Structure 1
Amino acid sequence: MATADHAAINVLTGYRPKTTAECVDIERVRALIEAGAPWDRSNSLHITASALIVHPDSGRVLLRWHPRHETWLLVGGHADPGENDPLAVALREGREETALPDLAPWPDAEVRHLVIVPVPANSREPAHEHADVRFVLATSAPEAVRPENPDAPLLWLTPDEARMATTEANILDTLSRVEPLLVR
C-alpha cells in the first residue's frame, strides 16, 4: 500500500458498518486501497468524499441540486491531484460548492457513512462506481451559503423536508444516521 493511501485507510479504521451491504462495501474499499491508486478516476471504482452540511442551532441540513443526476444530493466529490485524506477532500468540496467559510467536522471528524454508489455513463465517461466516504460538517453562518454555479442551487431543509426532497436511498440512509445528532 502506498504511503499516501494511509490517510484513506486510517479514517476507516474505527468505522463500524451498520448493514451487511456496508460491510461488503468496506471490504471492497479496503481492497481498492491496498491495490493502490484508490482515488484514480480511471479506476471503475474510486474513492470520493462528501458531507452532509448541518446548521446545529436550527437543526437544518443543506442539500445541493446535482444537474447530472437530477436530484438533491450531498456536497462532495473527487480528490484533486495529490489529495488523499477523505475529510480534507470533503471540506474542500464543501467550501467550493457552498462558499461557507467556517465549515468544520461536527460533532467530530468520524466517518458517518460509507457507501458505493453507481454512476451512470455519460458522453464524457463510462459507467463507474464511487466509494463515497461521508462526514458531517457544520456551519454557524448558514446565511453565507452561495451556490458554486446557478445550475447547482442549495437548499437548507429540516431533516423531514430533506427526506421528501431526495429520491436517493443512500442519501436517505445518511440522513437517518445524522438526524439523531441534531436532536436538541
Structure 2
Amino acid sequence: MTLHEDACRVLKEWRAPDGAQARLRDTYLAHLDAYGDGVWRSRREGHITASALVADPARRRVLLTLHPKVGLWLQTGGHCEPGDATLADAALREAVEESGIAGLELLPEPVWLDRHDVRCGGPDAWSVHFDVEYLAVAAPDAAERISAESLDLRWFPYDALPDRTDDAVRALVARAAAALG
C-alpha cells in the first residue's frame, strides 16, 4: 500500500467528531482524488501533512514547539517523507524528531484535521497544508530535547496554553484532553 492509499484509507475510515470536520475530511479526500501526488510537498497547490500533539495525561499537559517560521507554539509535525509507509508513521516520526522523546505511543486514529495556508518553499510560495493530526502519549518521566527545527520546546497544562498559539492548536488540545480523560 502506498502512502497515498493509506491516507485515503485513514480518512475514509475516520469518524469525524462533527459536521465541520466531516466536510473538511471530504475536502482532503477530494484533494487526494484529484492528485496522485497529493501527499508530497512537491504538490505546490497543497499537500497532506501529518502532526502529533505530544501529551502527558498523568500531568494533564502537552508539549509544544515554538515554530521558527510562524513564531507560534504548535504541535509537532510536518511533511510526509518517502520512508513513511503510513500517515501514522509520518506523525510519529515528526513527533520523535521534534520532541527528542523515544517511546511515544501514538493513538491509532487521527483526533482532528486542520487546513491552513502556509509559505512552503519560499517567501512567495504559498501552499495549503491538509494536516492530519494524531495524539502521541509520553511517559510521565519523558525527557524532551529541543531539535534544530524549533526555537523552543515546553510543556503546558491543557488549560494554560501560551498566548502565542492559535485557535487550531487550542481545538486540538481540547480534543486531546477529552480523548485522554
The alpha-carbon distance between structure 1 residues 48 and 122, as it changes in their structure 2 partners (threshold 3 A), is closer
Corresponding position: 1:42 with 2:42:
yes
**Runs (5+) with no aligned partner, structure 1:** none
The normalised TM-score by structure 2 is 0.88
More helix per residue: 1 or 2?
A: 1
Aligned pairs for 1:11-50 within 5 A:
11-34=10-33, 35-43=35-43, 44-50=45-51
Partner of 1:133: 132
Q: Secondary structure at the match of 1:128?
A: strand
Measured in 2, the distance between the counterparts of 1:79 and 1:153 equals: 23
The alpha-carbon distance between structure 1 residues 63 and 153, as it changes in their structure 2 partners (threshold 3 A), is same
Partner of 1:52: 53
Partner of 1:67: 68
Runs of 4+ in 1 over 4 A off after TM superposition: none
**Runs (5+) with no aligned partner, structure 2:** none
**Residue 24 of structure 1, CA deviation:** 3.0
Over aligned residues, Cα RMSD in angstroms?
2.2
Measured in 2, the distance between the counterparts of 1:32 and 1:146 equals: 35
**Residue 151 of structure 1, CA deviation:** 4.5
The alpha-carbon distance between structure 1 residues 68 and 59, as it changes in their structure 2 partners (threshold 3 A), is same
**Residue 15 of structure 1, CA deviation:** 1.6
Aligned pairs for 1:32-181 within 5 A:
32-34=31-33, 35-43=35-43, 44-105=45-106, 108-120=107-119, 123=122, 126-140=125-139, 142-149=141-148, 151-162=150-161, 164-181=162-179
Letter in 2 for 1:57: A
Measured in 1, the distance between the counterparts of 2:167 and 2:2 equals: 34
**Residue 60 of structure 1, CA deviation:** 1.0
The alpha-carbon distance between structure 1 residues 3 and 179, as it changes in their structure 2 partners (threshold 3 A), is closer
Measured in 2, the distance between the counterparts of 1:64 and 1:80 equals: 20
Aligned residues: 179
**Residue 6 of structure 1, CA deviation:** 1.6
Residue-by-residue CA offset, 1:123-171 (whole Å, 9 max, x unaligned):
3561111000001001115542001028521111101112x43431111
Q: Secondary structure at the match of 2:96?
A: helix
When structure 1 is superposed on structure 2, of 174-183 and 39-48 the one drifting more is: 174-183
Letter in 1 for 2:38: P
When structure 1 is superposed on structure 2, of 129-138 and 39-48 the one drifting more is: 39-48
The alpha-carbon distance between structure 1 residues 166 and 124, as it changes in their structure 2 partners (threshold 3 A), is closer
When structure 1 is superposed on structure 2, of 89-98 and 136-145 the one drifting more is: 136-145
Q: Secondary structure at the match of 2:159?
A: helix
